[in-house]
Structure 1
Amino acid sequence: MTSFNPAIITTSKTDSAFDDLTAALGDPRPHPTEEALIQLGRALMTELIDLVSGTALEDYQTTLGEALIGAFHSAAGRIERDADRARDVMRSLDRDFDGSEVLDVELQAAIAKARAGDAATQACELIRDAAADAWTVNTGEVWTAWRGSRRGSHLTAAQLEAKQALRAIRNRRSGEADPGGPVIAFRGAPTADTAADAGRIFDALNWARQEWPDMALATTGAKGSEKLAIKWAQQKGVTLILARADFETHGKAAPFRANDELIALEPTCCFTLVHSVDQERAHQRSFGPALNFGQKATESGLRIVPIRARAA
Structure 2
Amino acid sequence: MTIHTHDDAYEPAHTASQTAHALDELQLYGYRPFDEPDPRPMPDGQRLAVAVADIFDALVATLEDTRMEPDLEEVLWGQVNLFHRATARIERSLDENEQAQRRLQREQDGSEVKSTELERLTAEGLTLIERRNCMDMMRDHAATEFVHHTGSTWRPRTGSMVNRQHMTAALIDSRDFLAAKRRAETDVMLPASPKVALSGGTDFNDHRLIWGKLDQVRTKYPDMVLLHGGSPKGAELIA
Is residue 2:112 matched to residue 1:101? yes
Q: 1:113 to 1:138 in 2, by over 3 A?
A: same
What residue identity is the alignment partner of 1:80? E
Q: Which has the higher helix share?
A: 2
Contact 1:49-1:61 within 8 A present in 2 as well: yes
Q: Shift of the alpha carbon at 1:40?
A: 2.0
TM (norm. structure 1) is 0.40
Is residue 2:42 matched to residue 1:42? no
Structure-to-structure mapping, 1:225-240, within 5 angstroms: none
Output the CA distance in 2 between the equivalents of 1:39 and 1:149.
Answer: 25
**Which 5+ residue runs of structure 1 have no aligned equivalent?**
1-24, 156-174, 177-312
Q: 1:128 aligns with which of 132, 139, 143?
A: 139
Partner of residue 153, structure 2: 142
**Which 5+ residue runs of structure 2 have no aligned equivalent?**
1-35, 167-181, 184-239
Partner of residue 53, structure 1: 64
State the Cα RMSD in Å.
2.2
Q: Shift of the alpha carbon at 1:108?
A: 0.9
Partner of residue 199, structure 2: none
Output the CA distance in 2 between the equivalents of 1:45 and 1:137.
Answer: 10
Is residue 2:124 matched to residue 1:113? yes
Output the CA distance in 2 between the equivalents of 1:150 and 1:62.
Answer: 19
Output the CA distance in 2 between the equivalents of 1:153 and 1:36.
Answer: 19
Output the CA distance in 2 between the equivalents of 1:118 and 1:64.
Answer: 28
DSSP-derived class of the 1:38 partner: helix
Output the CA distance in 2 between the equivalents of 1:69 and 1:117.
Answer: 20
Listed one character per residue, the Cα deviations across residues 32-68 of structure 1 (whole Å, up to 9, x for unaligned) are 0222222222221222112111112111011101111
The structure with the larger Rg is 2
Q: Shift of the alpha carbon at 1:153?
A: 4.2
Partner of residue 177, structure 2: none
Structure-to-structure mapping, 1:153-172, within 5 angstroms: 153-154=164-165
What residue identity is the alignment partner of 1:75? A
Partner of residue 228, structure 1: none
Partner of residue 30, structure 1: 41
